[in-house]
Amino acid sequence: MTAASETPQLRIRGAADLFTALSDPDIGVRLAVLQGIARQPAATLAYGAHAGRDVVDELIRQLESLLITHEDSKHKHKKAHAAAIPRETKRNGNARKAG
């Protein structure tokens, strides 16, 4: 079975369908849609807008959302890492554990 036969055929009739496909939980669907956008950008832009946004706006929105999620994840990781450092190390920068 090939990758092409594993990905279901999508019918995109307008911007709303395009946005739905770009948010599909299946990464294969999202990648196929992004490849289609890259191959035919003019045709993709011809879908126009949905809810006041076109495909460029939607891609920017998704990227911003991804970056925010990534930044939140980095801050949570830093906080968890800082909490694991012994108090003396945090206070005076010395790597020795209190004992």
- Provide the pLDDT for residue 50: 96
User: Is residue 8's pLDDT more than 70?
Assistant: no
What's the average model confidence in pLDDT over 23-47?
A: 96
Reported as half-sphere exposure (CB side, CA atoms, 13 A), residue 69 has a value of 6
Fill in the amino acid letter for 67: L
| Alpha carbon 73 to chain centroid, angstroms | 13
Name every residue whose Cβ is closer than 8 Å to that of residue 25 and which is 6 or more positions away in sequence: none
- Provide the pLDDT for residue 83: 65
What's the average model confidence in pLDDT over 65-79?
A: 77
Task: Specify whether the CB–CB gap between 4 and 36 falls below 8 A.
Answer: no
Q: Tell me how far apart the alpha carbons of residues 5 and 51 are, in angstroms, rounded to a whole number.
A: 33
Q: Higher pLDDT residue, 88 or 63?
A: 63
Task: Specify whether the CB–CB gap between 47 and 55 falls below 8 A.
Answer: yes
- Provide the pLDDT for residue 70: 72
Domain ranges of the chain: 3-89
What does pTM read for this prediction? Answer: 0.63
